[in-house]
Each structure stands twice: as structure tokens, then as C-alpha cells.
Amino acid sequence: MSAPIAVIDTGICNLRSVTKALEAVGSRPVVVRTPQELDSAGAEGLVLPGVGALRDCVFSLRSSGLDAAVREWIGLDRPFLGVCLGMQALFDESEEGGVKGLGVFPGRVVRFSLPAPLKVPHMGWNTIRFVQRDSPLQEGLADEGESFYFVHSYHCVPADPEIMLAQCDYGGPFVAAIGVGRVFATQFHPEKSQAKGLSIYRNFAASASAPLMR
């Protein structure tokens, strides 16, 4: 049996959809709510999902002590996947209520400023373009034209554009995913994106199981 993949329950995430997606690709998700549960899970990968308000997501992480656990996990280049708010939480700050993020990556989260008739939130299917070469998260997916499901009013602006893994366009280009080493995050929801979304979870699980190359 494969080693588990831990999924953080912040209380405001679509937990069931994420765990079901991981199970569908043959992974063994384990829900964790504290650093102690994460330590005892024996997980080879960590997923931080989230929907709703970033303030609530970050508050939950800090209240449980999982904020430090996430930073430590990523700092060790252990396999990590952030989804939606789980991506936004990794940056320094957000315009959404002036929230301070975890500061894993320098950068800001900003609200869409769009001309009519485009509406905020950006909601529904949109195509992305992968911009990094040979990312394990892209295995089996085309460089351009893959469609995923988005629901968000804010988007990430990394200080270092080189961490961008995929780009999308909604009234202008924005970062749809990031990738640094074995750390990944997506603004879109793979668990709501049917077969292509399952490919993202399958690729992450495979990446998490692969031996670390130095």
C-alpha cells in the first residue's frame, strides 16, 4: 500500500472533493488538523486546499500551528500541493482584507480589476498554458489548451516570475499555477476539473512517491 498523502482540514475547504479525487487516483488521503496529526500520519505528500475567504484559511492555520508546519515542510522541499486559497496563502500578503499570508514566497495576492463585460469572480472553465519544461505536475497534459475550473476573485502576483508553472487569461494574463522543486500550487480546482484535474492529483501523487534526486 502506498504511503498516505496528508490533507489539511482548515474548516473552510472542500475536503470531501479533494480526498475523493486522491482516492480516485489510487492515493490514500489522511485528513490532518494539527501538527501532531501531520507528524504521526507518515505522509509522503501534503495538500492544502481551501475555498472562501483567505483570512479564515490563514487564521485556521495559525490557530492550529499548521502554518509553521507548512513552512517547514516546504522548506525541506517535501512534496506539497496548494489548491486555490492553498496557493494564495503561500504569499506575503493579500488585498483581501489586508491579510498577511505565510510568506513562503515573496509576492502579493491582488483582486481582479477588469473591464466590462468581464465579471468578478472569475468563475468557470478556462484554458491554461504551462510555461515550465518537464514539470512532473504536467505529465500527460498538453503545453497549451488544457481547461480547468476556476472560482476566485483574487490572483497571485509572485515577486519572482520564474516560479510560475502555468498561466491563464481573464482580461489579461495571470498566474494559474506555481512550481518550485517538489512544491506546487494551483489557482484552479483540480478536484472540480474532471479527468484533467484527476491527472493533476495523479501526477502529484506520483511525484510524491518518487525518490528525491539530488
Residue extents of the structural domains in the chain: 5-209
Query: Which H or E run contains 212?
Result: none
Give me 156's grid cell.
Answer: 497571485
Model confidence, pTM: 0.96
Among candidate residues 171, 148, 160, 163, the one with its CA nearest the CA of residue 83: 148
52: region left, alpha or beta (phi > 0 left; psi from -120 to 50 alpha): left
Sites in the chain below the pLDDT cut of 50 = 214
Q: What pLDDT shows up at residue 213?
A: 53
Sheet holding 105-111, edge to edge: 91-94, 105-111, 154-158
Residues annotated as catalytic are 84, 189, 191
Burial class (CB in 10 A: 0-12, 13-18, 19+), 213: exposed
CA distance 76 to 134: 21
Q: What pLDDT shows up at residue 40?
A: 96
Q: What pLDDT shows up at residue 214?
A: 47
CATH architecture of 5-209: 3-Layer(aba) Sandwich (3.40)
